[in-house]
Amino acid sequence: MERIRIDKYIHSLIKKELVSFMFRAILSDGKIWRDIIESISILVDEGVFIAGPNGIRLRAMDPSRVAMVDLELPASAFESYDCKDEIPIGVNFDDMKSIMKRVKTDEKLSLEKSESEARLKIKFLGKFTRTFSLPLLDIGKEELSVPKITFSTNIKLLVSALEDAIKDAEVVSDFIKIIVERDLLKIIASGDRGEVEIEITKDSGELLSIEFSEPSHALYSLAYLKKMMVATDLSDVCTLMFSTDMPLRLDFNMATGGKITYYLAPRMEAE
């Protein structure tokens, strides 16, 4: 009987395994994916990642259709990435969030989707390997369109400044008014509990840049903005864009590559 060399046997198993996967990606830090899932799940219950040759993307609206989250994660953001064709990966975010709470410091993350299973394998790679299998949802892969808006104001600032302003505004109101005029970002909130006004200038060092074609103002829900601040774990800087009484756009660019963008509909002020 012919003796089978163990190295050839192992090589054949690895080759078969690689062929069977439609999608496989490894992140060098599993906590990045945990923070991404947290930033999405704060607004939506379920959604469809589209994995393709160039990376992963997702676009979904909250149930009330007041806010939208848009994720772009290029292949270059991963330690290794393999996906030949576009495939939809529908997930329940509460379930995925529960899994991602188990990731430990210094663990890598592997995401795998095979041709034969309607499951996403989530592996934590550290001192030992832990594998979770998440059932996938059949919710199609039709993508939403991003709002086609020309913003009159584009502001780049430290996320800590915006986060503090939101916390200040919550003390007195459920809504926040954002005003831009004379190179000044002004945030105002008022209600039965009182009033607060925050002014942020470039001299503070927290307002990094401000561009506007005209003075602008708009009113937005603090409850939604507070949820969006979950993405501050992914970036120290955010970009805020808006126009008078138009939707707000809030970008968080990740240091490792990729971006999470939120859109929020305005609240119309009473006459």
**Which CATH number is 109's domain given?**
3.70.10.10
Q: Answer yes or no: is pLDDT of 21 > 80.
A: no
What pLDDT does 271 receive?
46
157 and 111 part of one domain: no
Name 49's Cβ contacts closer than 8 Å, sequence gap at least 6: 56, 57, 58, 71, 88, 89, 90, 91
The domain in which residue 215 lies consists of: 153-264
Q: Is residue 148, in this structure, part of any structural domain at all? A: no
Q: Model's pTM, two decimal places?
A: 0.88
Cα gap 252→156, rounded to integer Å:
10
Q: Is residue 145, in this structure, part of any structural domain at all? A: no
What pLDDT does 11 receive?
52
Cα gap 62→36, rounded to integer Å:
16
175 and 247 part of one domain: yes
131 and 158 part of one domain: no
Cα gap 17→14, rounded to integer Å:
5
94 and 169 part of one domain: no
Cα gap 97→202, rounded to integer Å:
38
232 and 197 part of one domain: yes
Model confidence band, residue 14 (pLDDT cutoffs 50, 70, 90): very low
Least confident of 137-141, 167-171, 201-205: 137-141
User: Following CA atoms 85, 22, 104, 43 in sequence, which dihedral angle do they give, to the nearest 10 degrees?
Assistant: 50
Q: For the segment 104-131, what is each residue's pLDDT rounded down to a tens digit?
A: 989 999 999 998 889 999 999 999 999 9
What percent of the chain has a predicted confidence (pLDDT) above 90?
80
Q: Is residue 67, in this structure, part of any structural domain at all? A: no
Mean pLDDT, residues 83-111: 95
Q: Answer yes or no: is pLDDT of 222 > 90.
A: yes
Mean pLDDT, residues 15-27: 72
Q: Is residue 101, in this structure, part of any structural domain at all? A: yes
Model confidence band, residue 18 (pLDDT cutoffs 50, 70, 90): very low
105 and 167 part of one domain: no
125 and 170 part of one domain: no
193 and 248 part of one domain: yes
Q: Answer yes or no: is pLDDT of 34 > 80.
A: yes
Residue 10: C-alpha distances to residues 17, 212, 226, 248 (Å): 11, 61, 51, 54
Mean pLDDT, residues 30-38: 96
127 and 160 part of one domain: no
Q: Is residue 269, in this structure, part of any structural domain at all? A: no
Cα gap 26→109, rounded to integer Å:
5
Strand segments (E) across the chain: 21-27, 46-52, 55-61, 67-74, 80-83, 87-92, 108-114, 119-125, 129-135, 153-158, 175-181, 184-191, 194-200, 207-212, 216-221, 237-242, 248-253, 259-264
Counted domains in the chain: 2
Q: For the segment 157-187, what is each residue's pLDDT rounded down to a tens digit?
A: 999 999 999 999 999 999 999 999 888 999 9
What percent of the chain has a predicted confidence (pLDDT) above 70?
90
Q: Is residue 30, in this structure, part of any structural domain at all? A: yes
